[in-house]
């Protein structure tokens, strides 16, 4: 899955360093209130699927020099994901 490359103002729960990167869905965590809406006191509906997405460390960090098989898992809501290339 590709993480949307967007930088909207406000309370965003997707780390800036992972935007535009491609990873693999490791698992579906369930449906939860949209945290970007909840942060503004709204009801967070409709609930959004939350995924745990696995990324290769050396694809996230340009200068990563450790074990090339190292990964990082990040939980990302569906509205931040697009089909990968």
Residue 3: count of CB within 10 angstroms of its CB: 22
- Cα separation, 27 vs 44, in Å, equals 22
> Residue 28: its pLDDT value, please?
98
What confidence tens digit (pLDDT) does each residue in 14-51 have?
898 999 999 999 999 999 999 888 888 999 999 999 99
Residue 37 tokens, joined = 């809406």
> Residue 12: its pLDDT value, please?
77
The domain tally of the chain equals 1
Average pLDDT, the chain: 91
* CATH number of 25's domain: 2.30.30.50
Domain with 17, as residue range(s), is 2-82
Kindly give, in sequence order, each residue whose CB lies less than 8 Å from that of residue 12, ignoring residues fewer than 6 positions away. Answer: 36
What H or E segment, with its residue span, contains residue 42? none
């Amino acid at each position: 899955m590709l993480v949307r490359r967007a930088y909207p103002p406000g309370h965003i729960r997707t780390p800036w360093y992972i935007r535009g990167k491609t990873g693999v869905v490791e698992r579906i965590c369930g449906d939860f209130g949209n945290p970007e809406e909840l942060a503004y006191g709204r009801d967070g509906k409709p609930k959004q699927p939350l995924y745990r997405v696995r990324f290769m460390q050396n694809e996230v960090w340009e200068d990563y020099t450790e074990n090339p098989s190292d990964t990082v898992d990040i939980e990302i809501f569906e509205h931040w994901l697009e089909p990968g290339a």
